[in-house]
Structure 1
Amino acid sequence: MNLLQKPILFPLNEKVRLIQYITGENSMLEHIELSIYDIEPGGKVSYHEENFESCVVVLSGKVTVDVLNGKIYSQLGTRTSVFDKVPTHSVYIGKNRFYTITAETKTRILIAASKTDQSLPDNLIKPEDVLIESRGSYHNKRYVQTILSDQDTISDKLLVVEVYTEGGNFSSYPPHKHDQNLLPKESILEETYYHEINPTQGFVFQRVYSDNRLLDQTMSCSNQDVVLVPKGYHPVGVPDGYTSYYLNIMAGPIKVWRFHDDPEHEWIKDRL
C-alpha cells in the first residue's frame, strides 16, 4: 500500500503544469479525488465532474472561475504563497458542472472532489467565511483555517482544512483516526494531506498506522508531496527551523467528523 504520492510535475502545455493527480483509479481511495496545478497568466484548466462535487482552492495567485450556465467568479485569491498565512478564496462547485479556471497571475490551485448523489448550488467561499482557530499547546501547536467543515451545508461530503505548524511541533496529534462507523463516537472519513514546506528544501515526518499495525508506515514528506490516509492514525512531526503547511481533504459516506484518539497516547491531552 503506497501512501506517499510524489509530485509528478507533468507539463500539460506551456502555461499549465500538473503537480498532483489522485483518483480512485491510481490510489486506494474511494471517496476523494485531488488535483493540483501551477498555471501561468492566461493559462486555463477545464473540468467536468459528472458524479463529483468539487472545491477549487486558490493556493496562491489570482484566478477567474467560470461555471458554464452559472456564475463567473473573478479576482479570486489573496496570497502570493500559502505561507502568507491568510485565508484565501475557494469555490464550491456542485456535481455535473462544466467549469474553467483561468489564471490572472502566476497561480497554484488545488481541486478537491468527492463522489455525491446530491446536486447542490455553487458557492463562493470568501476569506472572511473561513473559520480561523489555534489548537494545542506546548509542542502541539498549530494554526487552522477551515474552508469546508462538517457543520456547514455548502457541500454534501467534502471537508477542506488548511493547517500551519511551526518547527518543533507535532500536528494531527495526539494521534487520532476516523475509520469506523461508531457514531456518535467515531465516523468514517478518508483523508489526504497535501504538504508544502518553508523553506522548500525542508521535510516533515508523517506516520499512518492502525491498532493492529498491519498498516504502519512512517514517511519523510517533502514539498508538494501528498499522503493518503484511507484509514488509521496519522500524526505529523515538523523539524526545527521549518514551517509546515498542509491542506486536508476529508470525505466519507456521511459528512460527520468524529475521531478516536489512540488510547496509548491520549494521556497527552491531560497536559495540553
Structure 2
Amino acid sequence: MLIYNKTTFQEGYNAITELDGVHSQMHMDFGILKLSRGAVFHSKEAKERAFLLMDGSIAFKYANKKNIAMRNSLLDELPHVLQVPKGAEVTLVAHEDSELCVQKAINNTDFEAVYYAPEHIRQQRFGEGTMQDSSTRIVRTVFDAKNATFSEMVLGEVINFPGKWSSYPPHKHPQPEIYHYRFPDAPSQGFGFGQVGENVYAIAHESTMIIDPWLVHPQVAAPGYPMYYIWMIAHTEGEKFGPNSRQFVDEHAWLLDPKVKIWKDTRSKE
C-alpha cells in the first residue's frame, strides 16, 4: 500500500511506521527527523537504530565519538549513516536545517556503533547492459547481511533514472520492505508508479510504500523526473536479506540475459 504525506513534515520526529502501532507488520519503526539549525536531538531506547542524513549538516555524537556530516544532494552525493545498538546514547546537533531518515528494529545483539561515511557505502549500477538499458539505476547499500551480520535491518538508497524502471525484473523476498520517495529536482510535480502485488500506485514526493513479504514491487519513474527512494528491510527469523536474496518472478527472469532478443523499432525515420 502507499502512504501519502498530506502535510509538510514538522520539526522533530515524524513517525510513519511503528513496531507497536500503525503498520506494525513491517517490524520496523520508520520516520523522518526534521531539525532546524541549532536544534539538538537525543536518542536512547531499547532498539537498534540507524540515522541516515538526507539533507543539511549534522554532528553525530555517540560512544565518546563525534562525526560531522554534510549533504546537499540526494542524487549526486552518498549518505552519511550512523547505526547503533539498543541502549546506546546518540546526540544529533544540527549545524544547518537538516532532515534524516530514522529506522529502528528490535535487536538484542550487542555491537559497536558503526559510522558509514560515503566511501564505506556500496554503490552499484543495476540493470546496465540488459533490457535495452530500460532499467539501469543506481543502488546504494549502506548495510545488509553481507556487511552487518549483527543487524536486524537493511538500509539503502536507489536512484531511479527518469523514464526507467527499478526493482526490475519484478522480484520478491520473504522480508517486509519500506520505500520512501523523493523527487529532488521537481518535488511539486515529479511522479512515478509502483506495483505491490496486483495493485499499482501513483508515487508522489514524500510518499511511502509499504511492501508486505512475498509481494512483487517493480517501480518506474516518469520521463523527466529522477526518482530517489530509501529502501528499508527488516530481517525475518532465519531469513536475513543479502545481495542474493531477491527472487525474480519466473515469467520475467529471462530478461536478465544480456543476449536476449527484444523487439526494436527499425523503421526508417522520415
Q: TM (normalized to structure 1)?
A: 0.84
Question: What SS class does the counterpart of residue 254 from structure 2 fall into?
Answer: helix
Question: What SS class does the counterpart of residue 61 from structure 1 fall into?
Answer: strand
- Rg bigger for which structure? 2
Residue 264 of structure 2 is matched in structure 1 by none
Counterpart-to-counterpart distance in 2, 1:249 and 1:11: 19
Question: What SS class does the counterpart of residue 25 from structure 2 fall into?
Answer: coil
Does the Cα contact within 8 Å between 2:61 and 2:90 map onto a contact in 1? yes
For 1:27-46, what aligned pairs fall within 5 Å after superposition? 27-46=23-42
Residue 74 of structure 1 is matched in structure 2 by 67
Choose the corresponding residue for 1:64, options 59, 62, 65. 59
Residue 195 of structure 2 is matched in structure 1 by 207
For 1:116-135, what aligned pairs fall within 5 Å after superposition? 116-135=107-126
TM-fit CA distance, 1:177: 0.4
1:158 aligns with 2:146: no
Residue 49 to residue 6, structure 1, CA distance change in 2 (3 Å):
farther
CA displacement 1:207-226 (0-9 Å, x = unmatched): 010xxxxxx22111111111
Does the Cα contact within 8 Å between 2:26 and 2:234 map onto a contact in 1? no
Counterpart-to-counterpart distance in 1, 2:224 and 2:176: 30
Unaligned 5+ runs, structure 2: 261-270
CA displacement 1:53-97 (0-9 Å, x = unmatched): 111111111111223xx23423223x21312x2212111111122
Question: What SS class does the counterpart of residue 16 from structure 2 fall into?
Answer: strand
Question: What is the alpha-carbon root mean square deviation over aligned residues?
Answer: 1.9
Residue 145 of structure 1 is matched in structure 2 by 140
Question: Quick one: percent identity of the two aligned structures?
Answer: 20
How many pairs were matched up? 247
Question: What SS class does the counterpart of residue 82 from structure 1 fall into?
Answer: coil
For 1:1-272, what aligned pairs fall within 5 Å after superposition? 3-7=1-5, 9=7, 16-24=11-19, 25-50=21-46, 52-67=47-62, 70-77=63-70, 79-83=71-75, 85-137=76-128, 138-153=133-148, 155-179=150-174, 189-197=175-183, 198-200=185-187, 201-209=189-197, 216-231=198-213, 232-253=215-236, 254-257=239-242, 258-271=245-258
- Greater fraction of residues in strand: 1
Counterpart-to-counterpart distance in 1, 2:148 and 2:2: 31
TM-fit CA distance, 1:38: 2.2
CA displacement 1:111-138 (0-9 Å, x = unmatched): 1112212121111111110111111031
Question: What SS class does the counterpart of residue 250 from structure 2 fall into?
Answer: coil
Residue 268 of structure 2 is matched in structure 1 by none
Counterpart-to-counterpart distance in 1, 2:73 and 2:91: 22
Counterpart-to-counterpart distance in 1, 2:191 and 2:148: 35
TM-fit CA distance, 1:105: 0.6
